[in-house]
Amino acid sequence: MTLFIQLMFSGLALGSDYALIAIGFTIIYKASEVINFAQGEFLLVGTFVVSTAVFSWRLSFVPALLLGMGVTALIGVLFERVVLRRMIGRPPFTIIMVTIGLDVLLLTAVTILVGDKSPGAPAPFDIVSAITVGGVKFGVNALASIVITVLICAALYAFLRFTRYGLAMRATAIDQEAARAMGMRISTVYALAWGISGAVATIGGVFLAAGAGNPVFDVGLGQGALVAFPAIILGGLDSIPGAVVGGVVIGLVYVLTQGYEASGFLGVNFHTISPYLVMILVLLIRPYGLFGARKVERI
Partner 1 sequence: MSAPGPVDPSTPSAAPIATLPGRLRSSQSRALALVGALILALLFLFGGDGWVSVLDFTMVAAIAALGLNVLSGYAGQISLGIAFFMGIGAYTAAWLGGSPPQLPGDPAGLGLSVVIWLPASGIVAALIGALIGPTALRLKGFYLGIVTLALVFIGQYVFINARAITGGQEGRFNFPAPSIGDFSFANPNPIFGLQLTTNQCFFLLLLPLLALVAGFVANVARSRPGRAWQAVRDNETAAAIMGINLLEAKIGAFILSSFLAGIAGALYASLSGIATPGTWSLLLSIQFIAAILIGGVASVWGSILGAAFVFAIPTALNTFSLLPQNASSTGISSGDLSAIFYGLLIIVFLLFEPAGIIGLAGRIRAAQQRIEARRTRSEGGDTATSTTIPPTTTTSTAPTTSTTPTEMASSEREPQLDVERMDLMDRTRRADAPQ
Residues that bind partner 1 (CB under 8 A): 35, 37, 83, 86-87, 90-94, 96-98, 100-105, 107-109, 111-112, 114-116, 223, 226, 229-230, 233, 237, 267-270, 272-273, 276-277, 279-280, 283-284, 287-288, 297-299
In sequence order, what are the residues at sequence separation of 6 or more whose Cβ sits closer than 8 angstroms to the Cβ of residue 152? 20, 23, 200, 203
Measured from the CB atom, the residue of 100 and 174 that comes closer to partner 1 is: 100
Q: Say if CB 185 and CB 168 are below 8 A apart.
A: yes
From the list 7, 6, 13, the residue with the least C-alpha distance to 209 is 13
* Least distance between partner 1 and beta carbon 253 (Å): 14
Measured from the CB atom, the residue of 178 and 280 that comes closer to partner 1 is: 280
Q: Phi and psi at residue 252, in whole multiples of 5°?
A: -65, -45
In sequence order, what are the residues at sequence separation of 6 or more whose Cβ sits closer than 8 angstroms to the Cβ of residue 103? 37, 38, 40, 41, 222
* Least distance between partner 1 and beta carbon 86 (Å): 6
* Least distance between partner 1 and beta carbon 283 (Å): 6
* Least distance between partner 1 and beta carbon 160 (Å): 23
**What does the buried/exposed string (b/e) look like for 16-53 if buried means 16 or more CB atoms within 10 Å of the residue's CB?**
bbbbbbbbbbbbbbbbbebbbbbbbbbbbbbbbbbbbb
Measured from the CB atom, the residue of 9 and 217 that comes closer to partner 1 is: 217
* Least distance between partner 1 and beta carbon 139 (Å): 26
Measured from the CB atom, the residue of 104 and 151 that comes closer to partner 1 is: 104
From the list 21, 6, 5, the residue with the least C-alpha distance to 248 is 21
Measured from the CB atom, the residue of 9 and 79 that comes closer to partner 1 is: 79
Measured from the CB atom, the residue of 161 and 294 that comes closer to partner 1 is: 294
* Least distance between partner 1 and beta carbon 278 (Å): 10
Measured from the CB atom, the residue of 8 and 96 that comes closer to partner 1 is: 96
* Least distance between partner 1 and beta carbon 19 (Å): 17
